[in-house]
Amino acid sequence: MLPGDDHEAFDRSYQVQATADGEARSAVDRRAEDFIRDATAKTKAADEIARREKEALYKAAEAGDNLALLDTSDLDQLEEAEPLIEGFLVKESIARLYGPPKSYKSFVMLDMAGCVGAGIPWQGKRTEQSNVLYIVAEGVRGIKRRVRAWEMQNKRPMTGVHFYPNPVQLGDRKDVSALIRTAKRGDYKFVVLDTQARCTVGLEENSASEMGMVVAALDVLKEVTGACVALVHHSGASAGRARGSTAILGALDAEFEVEADKDTYTVTVHTRAQKDLAEAPEMKVELGTAGPGLALAVKPRRQWYQQRAEDLPPLPAVEHTVLNIVVAFAAAGATEQMINSRTSGDADKATVREALGQLLVKGCVARQGSSWKATSLGQRRIGGLTDDS
């Protein structure tokens, strides 16, 4: 029991608390009423807009032109997609090349640009000579060295390609308008934005609505110019897909993923989607430097990379044995020690090492760190005959 003198103080404190609680509840009630009032007003406004739209549509349905329909014979009059790079890119399209950071994706895109600008084959595939506009939004300082390295590798100047050494913000109407005017007046049929992230600064790449603005800009760019618009982008944290919202993915006509092997300076290009062409098979490009102090550049290839196993001479018995062992380890790969343990005395360590070197040159295996893995060509070749030559 409290002393008699303390009762009044406690009673007053309870009264203050009760008053505060009542005021807080009143404030909450007022906010709830305001929210309900605003929501009701918005609903009424939306209903009125829908009512007016329905009235307008009823009236329009009674007059005006019909849709221009085609029958099966009319379909033959539609123009086919015009190729830019045989089997890979077509004009009036949106394409994207993506991969993790430092995976040489910009080197691959620059090689495409150089070959299209000059009208020379890209990795053995025919190109349609076209003016190229390359937006260097990332790595501006290194573009000069990369271009000079490409010129040394190809023994020719990079013609037909023009560079803009600043980002073009695809969310900025002024920037996009300037890009469209430039591409149209210069008759550029290949427009590269390297990278997507640097050209969408301030936009939330995981937001479908904000990336929808980017899609709209890309669509207008390709339709007004008739160009292939190519994006260079980064892959997501989980890999296997490009970073950001799928809103852009739905607008793409082609998408490719790159996978780099920095031990062998090779890049594998995987086709992830192609709408107007049959999906291109996996391909591998090689990088190298043409001289001291020069940057890396993709090595030119006169013939198409994809060789059929049946068109190649049979592998020597030792190489076939070693390749068969590597294939058996699948994606895990095999070290030299693991391969030696399975040759069962058929070959010594030096012979196995030499066989691996030959298989590497022939494109049947690739080295990743201390492990060896079979390429797609190598997997096909183990079914072929062997000889001892």
In-domain check, residue 101: yes
278 Cα distance to chain centroid: 18
Report the percentage of the chain scoring pLDDT > 90.
41
Q: Which residues pair with 267 in a beta bridge?
A: 260, 285
- Does residue 159 sit in the same domain as residue 270? yes
- Does residue 370 sit in the same domain as residue 256? no
- Does residue 330 sit in the same domain as residue 366? yes
Amino acid at site 19: T
Asked if pLDDT for residue 386 goes beyond 50, the answer is: no
Tally of CB atoms within 10 A around 45: 10
Assess contact for 199 and 135: CB atoms under 8 A. yes
- Does residue 107 sit in the same domain as residue 198? yes
- DSSP-derived secondary structure for 208-219: HHHHHHHHHHHH
Q: How far apart are CA 242 and CA 248, in angstroms?
A: 10
- Does residue 275 sit in the same domain as residue 348? no
Cis peptide bond prior to 195, omega within 30° of 0: yes
In-domain check, residue 106: yes
Report the percentage of the chain scoring pLDDT > 70.
86
Assess contact for 142 and 102: CB atoms under 8 A. no
In-domain check, residue 241: yes
Assess contact for 382 and 324: CB atoms under 8 A. yes
Asked if pLDDT for residue 354 goes beyond 80, the answer is: yes
Tell me the CATH number at 352. Answer: 1.10.10.10
Average pLDDT of the segment spanning 307-320: 73
CA-closest candidate to residue 125, choices 90, 156, 92, 96: 90
Average pLDDT of the segment spanning 312-341: 86
Strand, helix or coil for residue 300? coil
Summary mean pLDDT of the chain: 84
- Does residue 92 sit in the same domain as residue 189? yes
Handedness of CA 376, 379, 382, 384 (dihedral sign): negative
Q: How far apart are CA 135 and CA 368, in angstroms?
A: 33
CA-closest candidate to residue 324, choices 295, 293, 346: 346
Q: How far, CA to CA in Å, does 268 sit from each of 164, 222, 290, 305, 380? A: 28, 27, 21, 11, 17
- Does residue 135 sit in the same domain as residue 207? yes
Asked if pLDDT for residue 388 goes beyond 70, the answer is: no
Average pLDDT of the segment spanning 262-289: 89
In-domain check, residue 4: no
- Does residue 133 sit in the same domain as residue 262? yes
Asked if pLDDT for residue 188 goes beyond 90, the answer is: yes
- Does residue 125 sit in the same domain as residue 247? yes
Pairing of strands 188-194, 131-136: parallel
In-domain check, residue 33: no
- Does residue 317 sit in the same domain as residue 291? no
Q: How far apart are CA 113 and CA 133, in angstroms?
A: 8
Q: Read off the pLDDT of residues 216-245 as tens digits, 9 standing for 90 and up.
A: 999 999 999 999 999 999 987 666 688 888
- Does residue 131 sit in the same domain as residue 190? yes
Residue after which a domain boundary falls, among 277, 298, 319: 298
Average pLDDT of the segment spanning 172-199: 96
Token pair for 294: 């020069």
Q: Where does the pLDDT of residue 179 fall: very low under 50, low under 70, confident under 90, or very high at 90 and above?
A: very high
Assess contact for 252 and 241: CB atoms under 8 A. no
Beta strand spans in the chain (E)? 83-85, 89-90, 93-99, 131-136, 161-164, 188-194, 228-234, 254-261, 266-274, 283-288, 297-298, 315-316, 365-368, 371-374, 386-387
Asked if pLDDT for residue 22 goes beyond 60, the answer is: yes
- For residue 180, what pLDDT is reported? 96
- For the chain, what is the domain count? 2
In-domain check, residue 319: yes
Residue after which a domain boundary falls, among 265, 298, 331: 298
In-domain check, residue 76: no
- For residue 305, what pLDDT is reported? 47
Q: Where does the pLDDT of residue 261 fall: very low under 50, low under 70, confident under 90, or very high at 90 and above?
A: very high
- Does residue 172 sit in the same domain as residue 238? yes
Residue after which a domain boundary falls, among 278, 298, 318: 298
Asked if pLDDT for residue 271 goes beyond 60, the answer is: yes
Token pair for 155: 């023994």
CA angle 362, 364, 365 (to 5 degrees): 115
- For residue 18, what pLDDT is reported? 61
- For residue 82, what pLDDT is reported? 87
Q: Read off the pLDDT of residues 132-166 as tens digits, 9 standing for 90 and up.
A: 999 999 888 889 999 999 999 999 999 999 999 99
Tell me the CATH number at 161. Answer: 3.40.50.300
Give residue 151's domain range: 83-298
- For residue 109, what pLDDT is reported? 97
In-domain check, residue 135: yes
* Cβ contacts of 195 within 8 Å, gap of 6 or more: 106, 137, 138, 231, 232, 233, 234
Q: Read off the pLDDT of residues 73-119 as tens digits, 9 standing for 90 and up.
A: 777 676 777 889 988 999 999 999 999 988 999 999 999 999 999 99
- For residue 37, what pLDDT is reported? 84
